[in-house]
């Protein structure tokens, strides 16, 4: 039977993990959406009738602070103009500045999918996300930008000698203490009774 102290420690550990998971990891720069998309690749195939574009060979996509690098990028557009992009690589990567912060979010996986309609990013196989010094690893990572819901799933595919079951791994750095503005020192005044002692 677990003691109350052990239960409390487990509760704190669980709560800390949930805070990491629910944290706004992918609060991307909103201004990026209004910037032009620039694509570079060795080859590009565009099928306007099917609304599919395929870019292959050292693919680099940039849009504002967003950068995606992959061996292959497939972009599909639905009837309403929303795009679904799938990046493949060894490893494919994305990097984007967080809204209102001087830090970037980075993600790496064998396959990265972005659904513009759902504002959903999914990383498949050897998935890893970093925000500042915090990091999460697993076989699958998803982030829903609308609800700020973050999920990491482990699996045998991510098993290593140090992690034979392929468990989810996270590193959460302690939050930096906020510096308080310099407070004015309190001036000490002697009590009047000390300054004017009674004659007894």
Segment 122-143 mean pLDDT: 92
Q: Who has greater pLDDT, 196 or 5?
A: 196
Domains within the chain, CATH numbers bracketed: 31-174 (2.60.450.10)
Residues 6 or more apart in contact with residue 200 via CB below 8 angstroms:
none
- Residue 29's pLDDT is 58
Q: Could you tell me how far CA 31 lies from the centroid of its own chain?
A: 18
Q: pLDDT digits over 29-70, tens only? A: 567 777 888 999 999 999 999 999 999 999 999 888 889 999
Q: pLDDT digits over 138-193, tens only? A: 999 998 877 878 899 998 887 788 888 889 888 888 877 765 666 666 666 665 66
Q: pLDDT digits over 97-120, tens only? A: 877 778 888 999 999 998 888 888
- Residue 143's pLDDT is 84
47-85: b (≥16 Cβ within 10 Å) or e:
eeeeeebbbbeebebbbbbbbbbbbbbbbebeeeeeebb
Contact 144, 120 (CB under 8 A): yes
Q: Who has greater pLDDT, 7 or 166?
A: 166
User: What is the secondary structure of 30-48 as a DSSP string?
Assistant: GGGGGSPPEEE-SEEEEET
**pTM, rounded to two decimals:** 0.69
């Amino acid at each position: 039977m677990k003691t109350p102290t052990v239960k409390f420690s487990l509760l704190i550990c669980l709560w800390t993990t949930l805070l990491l998971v629910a944290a706004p990891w992918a609060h991307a720069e909103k201004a990026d959406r209004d910037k032009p998309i620039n694509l570079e690749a060795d080859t590009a195939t565009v099928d306007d009738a099917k609304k599919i574009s395929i870019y292959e060979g050292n693919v680099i996509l940039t849009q504002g602070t967003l950068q995606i690098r992959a061996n292959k990028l497939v972009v599909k557009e639905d009837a309403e103009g929303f795009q679904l992009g799938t990046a493949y690589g060894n490893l494919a990567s994305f990097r984007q500045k967080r809204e209102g912060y001087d830090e970037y979010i980075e993600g790496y996986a064998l396959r990265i999918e972005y659904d513009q309609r759902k504002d959903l990013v999914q990383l498949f196989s050897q998935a890893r996300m970093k925000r500042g010094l915090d990091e999460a690893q697993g076989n699958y990572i998803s982030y829903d930008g609308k609800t700020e819901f973050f999920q990491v799933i482990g699996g045998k595919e991510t098993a290593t000698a140090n992690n034979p079951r392929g468990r989810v791994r996270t590193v959460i750095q302690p939050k930096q203490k906020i510096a308080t503005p310099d407070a004015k020192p309190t001036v000490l005044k002697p009590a009047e009774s000390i300054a004017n002692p009674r004659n007894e």
